[in-house]
Structure 1
Amino acid sequence: MIKILTFCLSVMFVINLQADTTDSKWKNIIELKKTGDHCKDDANCFNRYHPAIEPRATAEPGDIIVLHTRDALDSNYSFDAVAEDVPTFNLGEVHPMTGPVFVKGAKRGDALEVELLDIVPDEYGYTVIVPGFGFLRDIFTEPFIVNWKLTRTGLYQIICQELQFLMKHFQVL
């Protein structure tokens, strides 16, 4: 029961934001790729907004921006990750973001309209419980990880393929 509750409460998966540019070849494409194993080693990665952080790219209004993103914990987990691997990352380095991107003509305080053209998940994602971290830290005191195979249409648990979820249940828009 606890494992099922864990799945339902904390499904976390890695997404890789990419624009499907097949019909937009005439537009300028700005692409920021991952360049290091972790955010701290990647010039295109930052983990907080601050005026001292310089833009990694500049875009014109109407340009297509392709961002290759990291998972929320900036981990190197993979399909063979086990519970013993969970406490091996630094929680002070979480929340990696790709960018920032400067949009020409935009001024501080402007609201920019953004159209998401496509979201492509990585092939791997995970649900993790980190001891002492999160809103259920008093209930779940042992590390735990569930590895997920992600596709464009859904995700399923590697060991128990009968447990499948459709991606449409996780859409935020």
Structure 2
Amino acid sequence: MLYKISHDHGFHYWDEKNEPVLRIQPGDSVEFETKDCLCNVLTEQKSERYDVAVFDKVNVNPVTGPVYIEGAMPGDVLEVTIEEIRLKDRAIVTCQETYGHVGDFFTETTYKITPIRDNMVVFDRHLQIPCDPMVGVLGVTAKGQHINSNLNGVWGGNMDNTMMRQGVTLYLPIEVEGALAGTGDVHAVMGDGEMNCSAVEAPAFVTLKFNVRKDIQINEPVLCTQNHFVTIATRPTADEAIRDSTREMFRYIKEHTKLDPEEISMLMTAIGNNEVCVACGEDSKTMRFTMPWYALKVYGFSAF
């Protein structure tokens, strides 16, 4: 069954005290209407190039939800398939002082409105960029915590992973009854790493299909695309996130194939990739390790 949730139903903190907007059964789909990361407050631009932005820098990254999935219990895994991402007709991109890797060059926050026409982002009168929509925030609620929607971790959250496109399936470890899942922060297009802490931020409609898996266990978010198996880790430093996403991939291959550790290491270094999701955050960095399915299937890998 397909349900719909308006962007009027949302939150800024993952918290098990949040009342669910909707209760669904495993196998159901939900269309989430999402706001842009600045809560749709900047919708007009007066100058040709960009304007100075005034907005609440605390309550950003609104998440639509939460949704309670019947039968989801702590220790289970939530399987979430992104069935559709449908952008609205405009987006916004910002440049914020002190944020990102070049923030010290700026003394104020600026923004520009980028219309979306014919699946293209109209960056300015010179350039149009093909849309490549992705979901920035998708997660479940962590047990006993009150977590800002800007953050991410084992519960998912603001992972800003450019591989989170239509057609992929994300797996998240469940910590609270019902999972209490939500999504938001859709990007019309984003470069890996989100170097200045802003993508081309777009209000959108996101359709997700939910299932509860009781036959698998995971420690961190895992992503399955058509071509790749992906392990994801968020840690205080990039080095730690690279290390742990790599070690998670190594562990999965070791547990689900008959390859020796030496062979796994050789295979991973031959065709695996360390890639960046979030590199601009001050508190943490998120990295992923990707392996192509064509190789994993040769060795009987079937973890999911």
TM-score (norm 2): 0.41
Q: Any idea what the Cα deviations from partners look like across 1:115-143, whole Å, max 9, x if unmatched?
A: 11110112111111123344432122233
Give the CA RMSD over aligned residues.
2.2
How far residue 156 of structure 1 moved from its aligned partner, in angstroms, is: 1.3
Larger strand share, 1 or 2: 2
2:37 is matched with which residue: 56, 72, 75?
Answer: 72
Give the conservation status (yes or no) of the 8 Å contact 1:123–1:151.
yes
Whether 2:12 is the aligned partner of 1:34: answer no
Instruction: Work out the CA distance in 1 between the residues paired with 2:51 and 2:92.
Output: 14
- Paired position in structure 2 for 1:132: 98
Whether 2:88 is the aligned partner of 1:122: answer yes
Q: Any idea what the Cα deviations from partners look like across 1:132-157, whole Å, max 9, x if unmatched?
A: 34443212223322221124622112
Matches within 5 A, 1:107-118: 107-118=73-84
- Paired position in structure 2 for 1:103: 69
Give the conservation status (yes or no) of the 8 Å contact 1:79–1:148.
no
Whether 2:29 is the aligned partner of 1:56: answer no
SS of corresponding position for 2:105: coil
- Paired position in structure 1 for 2:128: 164
- Paired position in structure 1 for 2:110: 144
How far residue 66 of structure 1 moved from its aligned partner, in angstroms, is: 0.5
Give the conservation status (yes or no) of the 8 Å contact 1:67–1:98.
yes
How far residue 112 of structure 1 moved from its aligned partner, in angstroms, is: 1.3
SS of corresponding position for 2:84: coil
169 and 96 in structure 1: CA distance in 2 versus 1, 3 angstrom threshold: closer
- Paired position in structure 2 for 1:13: none
Whether 2:60 is the aligned partner of 1:94: answer yes
The structure having more radius of gyration, on CA atoms, is 2
- Paired position in structure 1 for 2:273: none
Give the conservation status (yes or no) of the 8 Å contact 2:52–2:110.
no
Give the conservation status (yes or no) of the 8 Å contact 2:85–2:133.
no
Instruction: Work out the CA distance in 1 between the residues paired with 2:80 and 2:90.
Output: 27
169 and 29 in structure 1: CA distance in 2 versus 1, 3 angstrom threshold: closer
One-letter identity of the residue aligned with 2:34: T
1:46 is matched with which residue: 1, 6, 11?
Answer: 11
Higher relative contact order (CA 8 A, sep 6+): 1
Q: Any idea what the Cα deviations from partners look like across 1:43-63, whole Å, max 9, x if unmatched?
A: x11012111111111111111
How far residue 75 of structure 1 moved from its aligned partner, in angstroms, is: 3.6
Instruction: Work out the CA distance in 1 between the residues paired with 2:101 and 2:19.
Output: 33
Give the conservation status (yes or no) of the 8 Å contact 1:152–1:167.
no
Bigger shift: residues 162-171 or 44-53: 162-171
119 and 169 in structure 1: CA distance in 2 versus 1, 3 angstrom threshold: closer
Instruction: Work out the CA distance in 1 between the residues paired with 2:41 and 2:94.
Output: 13
How far residue 89 of structure 1 moved from its aligned partner, in angstroms, is: 1.0
Give the conservation status (yes or no) of the 8 Å contact 2:87–2:133.
no
Q: Extract unaligned runs of 5+ from structure 2.
A: 135-161, 166-304
Bigger shift: residues 111-120 or 77-86: 77-86
